[in-house]
A and B are shown apart, each in its own frame.
Chain A
Amino acid sequence: MTVHRLRAMGCDVVVCGADPATVAAVFERWEDAFSLHRSGSELSRANAAPAQVLAVSELFAETLDIALTAAAETGGLVDPTFGRLDAVRLCGRILCRPPGLQLDLNGVVKALAVDEASSEIVGEGFVSAGGDLAVRGPVDVGLPGGGAVRVVAGGLATSGTTTRGRHLIDTTTGRPCESPWEQVTVSGSTCLAADVAAKAAFLLGDDGPEWLDDRGLPGRFREAGGHVVCNAHWERSLVCT
């Protein structure tokens, strides 16, 4: 299998089984709509708009809807509004929110881009971007800090502090989260599921493994010293790596 590498969304993207130009175009579309580093992105323009009610694109509305659903399912842990969920209303493509409320969809955008890019895979292969991965057919994947796992279907995501520092925000304090974990890896039915769950489990700290087990999600937790803890669903799937 030929492996292609490219840069997108500020990270290395590895593609196998799909046309790299097509995958690059998928990532560019998502970045063009949601990058907070581009003043012309739809998200940047929406955040800067003084109006209370905005008409947004279909992609924007669908993505925000997914982000709000993720916030609800994680009890507000992975929240695009940073604790102001009640202030945001979305009705079709009409967004209503107080002017000045800054939305951040980074919690779901990269994973959604990986999921969409993986739909371009012909036969078996994978798309990996940073800590997010989606597969078509079984793929053996090396884990950060050592060890490996075979991803049979769906996605695998790792959240933590090793690459981007303490970037995950505790919405209850508005500050970077203090977590006993350095990295949390989760297997999900999609890359989005894995990524949202990995972020939530990281933010939950010691309660992370049980929270994942309650939802049937396999999770692997790595402490700063290198000690690895796996939840029951991960251990049932394989001998802890």
Chain B
Amino acid sequence: MAGSRIEAARARARGAKLALGALATLVLGAGFIGAKSHAAGHAKHRARALAAPRSFEHAVRQSVLAGGQIAPPVQPPPVVTSTS
């Protein structure tokens, strides 16, 4: 009778140890995954250059190629262009 009570107590202790171990592993794993995906020091994506996107640069930078203003001449030209 006394032996069966001791055996039952040992079984409960083993179960408690297993439960505590599983819980600790679960908490550690969750913490690791959380740190990996949220902590600032962990890379989540491929590294990219610290520069404005090219589309933004293109929109901001004035085009080298922009048209000028011409009209019919009104007097004899003081200058004649040649060819470069």
Chain A residues within CB distance 8 Å of chain B: 1, 3, 11-12, 14, 16, 66, 69-70, 73-74, 110, 126, 128-133, 138-144, 148-164, 183, 185, 187-190, 192-197, 215-218, 233-234, 237-239, 241
Contacts and interface: CB of A to CB of B under 8 A. Distances in A.
Chain B: interface size category: 20 to 34
B39 interface: no
Contact of A141 (B63, B64, B65, B81): B81
B41 interface: no
Residue of B63, B75, B77 ringed by the most chain A CB atoms within 10 A: B77
Contact of A143 (B64, B65, B76, B80): B80
Given A16-B78, A69-B61, A131 B67 contact: no
Interface string B65-76: 111111111111
B79 interface: yes
A150 B68 contact: no
A188 B68 contact: yes
A73 B79 contact: no
B81 A156 contact: yes
A148 B71 CA distance: 10
Given A1-B78, A3-B78, A126-B79, A188 B65 contact: yes
Contacts, number: 152
Interface of B: 61, 63-84
Contacts of A16: 78-79
A167 to B, nearest CB: 9
A189 B75 contact: no
Given A110-B84, A131-B84, A138 B71 contact: yes
Nearest to A215: B65
Nearest to A148: B73
A144 B78 contact: no
Contacts of B78: 1, 3, 16, 139-140
